[in-house]
Every structure is written in structure tokens, then in C-alpha cells.
A and B are shown apart, each in its own frame.
Chain A
Amino acid sequence: MVLLRGLLFTIAIIIAAYALIAAVLYLMFFVDACISTTRSRISVAGLGFQVEDTNCDTLAKEEWVSVYGFADRDRGRTLLFRYSPASYHLPLPTIEVPDQRTIIIAIPIVSSVYSKLDSWHNHSIRYDIGHIDYP
């Protein structure tokens, strides 16, 4: 009985130690692992756009850029385009609204494309992507 109690106590101590370690690791390395920065915010033809850069640092280090759209009728923002930038020194995408039906998002080079919306808010979205490293 005493042996069993000692074993259970030891197991409990180990589990508690693991939990404590896990909690500390979580707080140290995984809370706020992602940092998002608004790189630009523009308003074109009554439509608002926001370009946001997000860097996540877990074990792997990843970065992506998101283009969000705002419209008067929208309460929130809509993700239009998300991609992984090929390099830190390359320019951000440019956004144009040449007419009432079209939005043009242009970027010379990206590493990979995560998502892109084909239309939004009665506008078709055209993508002018010069090169995709990982199509």
C-alpha cells in the first residue's frame, strides 16, 4: 500500500512537472508567436484596402502578407489575397481600382500564394503576379 502510494505520488509529481514545463514553454515560446503589422492602408474609389504583414515564429519561421478589403457596407474586413513574400526587400503589392468593376492587385514576385479571392463587393479581382516561386 505504501509502495503504491509512493508510486502514485511520483507519477503525480512527474505529471505536474511536465505540465509546468509545458506551461512555461508555451508562455515563453508560443504566446504571441505571430506578429502582424499593418504595412499600408489605402482608400481607392470608396473601397478601403489594408496590407498586413504577419510573421510567425514557432520552430519554423514563416511570413505572409495579406491584403484585406473594406467596404462601406462591410462590418469587417475581407481577406482578398494572401501570399508568402519571396524576400524582405521586395515591394508590397499595389492595388488599383481602374473602373467600377475591377480591382487590380499587382506584385512582381511572390514565393507562394495562399489564397486569392476572385471577386469582392461587385468587383472582379485581377491579379498581376510577375512570378511565383512555388506555384
Chain B
Amino acid sequence: MSDHPNLPFGHNTLKLRAVFVPDGADVSTAGIVQAVGPHPVMIRAVRVPEGGALPGYPYEHIGQAVFIPDSDDRNTPAFTSRRDPSRMSLSGAARLSAPSRTDDSRAQDDNALANRRWPGCPLASIAGPWAPPANPTGDNGSSGGSARRRGVRSAQANFSAAVPTPHVDTSRDAIDAAVNALSARPAKWDDASATSLAASAIRSGALLPPLQFPADLISAATGDQLSIARPDARPNRLVSDKAPEQQPRAADVTPPPSDESVAVVLPNGSTIPDPYSPTGRLMSPVADLAPVAAAGRRARRTYQTMLHNPKTMVGALPLFAIDTLIHLGQGGLFDYQRRGNHLTGFEHFRQYQDVSNFNVGLFCQQAGLSLENALIAAGSYARVFSGNAKPDRPYGLDPQTYEFIKAGYQAGQSGAFDHPLSPK
């Protein structure tokens, strides 16, 4: 939150930051990231003309909202011809309030952005938030407004939204709340020469990934509605009758991975931050990773038992390797990113790469390996079989892979998964 010191938002309030680019211009994702931060979430959206039928699944109607223009917007001739935004209402939510642009450091950032050029960016040659004014003399042309805002329409508004009820699946709580809160009643977007919008939302003190909308959102006319498809939306995914904490904890048996992403919840109830995840938390097909830890402990017990028996000691190490690969290898029980087998083929779930690496670290820690041995083993296998060794990186592993294996190991080391029956 250090980036947003001026956001005393209430529990159900969102703050949106928008960057507009001229009509006909493609928005550069690189530029958006530069403007609103990394990890933008792409959300499909459609504009529904006034009186038109809603598109239905996977789109979710999100109602209307009010855009509160800042002083620069009010100065534009186009704005004065529009309906008074103060008369507009937001469905199911409280009235909005707009922060002062002059008080908001982000507003100043917008103007700074308006006067910089994104090197090498496709937008560099056109007017837009990443390009300087087309006419350095400050000629405003027909678009009105001040010289520094020519071709640039930056806006900021607060949106209030009711938290969806019944309880929203916490794995997508933040994004869904944001999506539910967003709306399209852009008082000026209808005639503004803008085609794209990127916005970041902040809710309850948590920074959401920036949301990026397609061009047709901006061309919405007064009275139009907007429907937005949730990322990876699936029917009945949003609403759950129970809060996660009320749901039964998974037994020491691994449930089959589902297509539903949920945040990993440690036994102490905390989640694991994941800056690479759209939700900011480590996502998994199952919330409870205790079965991973339990399998690691079992592998350790089996190995030790066999090792101390002269008749079985010779098979201890191979069996341990097999045990590890069955659980963590390609298509293994805890390899959530791949499902299937060699006969029918593998299905790849890219979104579970981080948690699969986390499982490697957790399993190895509970199995009694040192962190170094776990990383050496992982790096060695990767070096031999992936053909993409990185000799300049620790253990030859990709840095992100390394980080999540280490995080899993440290989670196990923290004692969070210690079991009463554990031999540890």
C-alpha cells in the first residue's frame, strides 16, 4: 500500500485508475504495465446498448456506475454537452465520490506519462498516454481541453460496490468484487476519442492486478450497460454457500485436481503470496497441501525403515526415488500442472506451475532432504531432461522455479505442516 497512501477506502470501495488512448490506436500492454503496474488481467467485455439483451454466460452483467470527471474533463467542450453525471446512479451501490486530481500523486503521474515516449512501443508514433502531444506548440485542435491533455484523457474515480452475496469464492474474491463493482456509464467515454482503458483497482487495502478492457468499452453511449466476462469464468464458480473456513478440511487424501482455482491455505489459515498470480496468492486446484506433506513424511518413513533392514536396504533409495517421482514427477499426484499419462497424453495447466514447484519443496522437506539436496536434484533433472540449463543461475534452475521450490521447503520447515503423528 505504500504506493497508494491516499486511499482511505472503505471495505467495499474500489478505486479505479484509467488511462485513455486515442481512437484507432491499439493499446500497448507494455505501456499499460508502465502506467498501472505489472500483471494486468485481461477481461473480455462487451457493451450492451440501452435496451439491448444481456449476453449471458460467460459475461456477467455488472450494472452501471458514475464517472466523476475532474476539472480538466469539465473544461472540454464535449463534456459540457453531456448529461450531468451527478444525476446518474450506480446500481446497488452507494453514491460515488471523486478524489481531487491535484491531491492525488497518481494524477500527476498520468500527466507525466502523457509526456513521455515509450521506447520502442508501437504507440510511440501516435498520440496517447505514452506519446508526447502531436503538436508541441500545444494546439488543442478540436478535442478541446488543455494543451498538456491533448489526446490524453486520464481519469480517476471511486466506485462503491456491494460485496457479492452469498459468499464469494475467496480465491477470486478480489477480482470478482472488482468486476462486480465496475460499470460502464462513462459520461464522457461516449464521445471521447478513446478506445482502450486500463485500470487498477484497490479493495480493502489490497492491490488488485490492473484490469484491462477492450476498446468497445470506451465507446459505450450514455445509458448503455456493460457486461464483463470474469477471467476463466465458469458457471457457478463465483458463489459458494459456505465460507472457506467453514468448509471441511481435506483429509489426508489428495482429492483429484479440479479446474477450479483456489488459494492455497496453510494449516494456520494463512495464504501464500504469489506476485505472479492474478489474485496475488498462490493458486492451486486444492486449497489444502497437507496431503503433500503427509506423502513426504510417508516416503521418509519408508526409506528409513528399509534402510535399517539389511534385507531391504538395497532397495531403499530406488524406492524413495520412485516414490518421489510418482508424487512429483510428470503427471504425478502433486504435479498439478500436468494431468494424464503417456498413453492418452498430458493436459497442461499452466496456472499451476508455481504450486507444483511449491509442492516439490514441501514434499522434499517433509521427506527429510536438505534444501540444497532438493534443489540439486531438481536442477540436475532439469539440466539433463529439459535441455534448458541455466548455468548462471543457482542450481541451474529458472529463478521463479527456484523461488517456489524454496518457498515450499520453507513452509514445511516452518512447522506449519507438522503432524501429531509425525516422526519429526
Contact = CB atoms under 8 A, between A and B. Distances in A.
B351 to A, nearest CB: 5
Given A63-B353, A114-B388, A106 B379 contact: no
Nearest to A129: B30
Contacts of B28: 106
Interface in A80-135: 84, 86-91, 94, 96, 104, 106-109, 111-112, 114, 126-131, 133-134
B244 interface: no
B342 interface: yes
A29 B381 CA distance: 11
Interface in A25-81: 25, 27-35, 54-64
A94 to B, nearest CB: 7
A128 B120 CA distance: 6
Interface string B322-366: 101100111110010110001000101011010011001000000
A91 to B, nearest CB: 5
Contact of A107 (B30, B342, B388): B30
A51 to B, nearest CB: 14
B382 A84 contact: no
Given A28-B342, A57-B337, A61-B357, A91 B382 contact: no
Contact of B400 (A21, A86, A128): A86
Of A35, A111, A112, A128, most buried by chain B (CB within 10 Å of CB) is A128
Nearest to B377: A59
Nearest to A89: B278
A134 B296 CA distance: 30
B122 A94 contact: yes
Contact of A60 (B39, B277, B397): B397
Given A62-B386, A89-B231, A106 B122 contact: yes
Interface string B382-406: 1011111010010001111100010
B33 A58 contact: no
Interface residues of A, number: 50
Contact of B381 (A32, A59, A64): A59
A31 B315 CA distance: 24
Interface string A9-33: 0000010011001000101111111
A60 B38 contact: no
A58 B38 contact: no
Interface class of chain A by DSSP: strand
A61 B38 contact: no
A88 B322 CA distance: 30
A107 B118 CA distance: 12
Contacts of B32: 108
A131 B400 contact: no
Of B120, B328, B348, B387, most buried by chain A (CB within 10 Å of CB) is B120
Contacts of B318: 17-18, 21
Nearest to A104: B120
A130 B39 CA distance: 11
Interface string B268-294: 000000001110000000000000000
A106 B32 CA distance: 12
B401 A33 contact: no
Contacts of B263: none
A62 B330 contact: no
Of B30, B34, B122, most buried by chain A (CB within 10 Å of CB) is B30
Nearest to B319: A21
Contacts of A61: 335, 337, 353, 356-357, 360, 401
B353 A88 contact: yes
Given A30-B330, A86-B276, 14 more contacts: A21-B322, A25-B325, A28-B329, A57-B331, A59-B378, A63-B350, A64-B398, A86-B39, A87-B277, A88-B350, A90-B40, A108-B32, A128-B30, A130-B33
Interface of B: 28-30, 32-34, 38-42, 118-122, 231, 276-278, 314-315, 318, 321-322, 324-325, 328-332, 335, 337-338, 342, 346, 348, 350-351, 353, 356-357, 360, 377-379, 381-382, 384-388, 390, 393, 397-401, 405
6 contacts: A33-B330, A59-B360, A61-B353, A84-B400, A112-B399, A133-B400
Interface of A: 14, 17-18, 21, 25, 27-35, 54-64, 84, 86-91, 94, 96, 104, 106-109, 111-112, 114, 126-131, 133-134
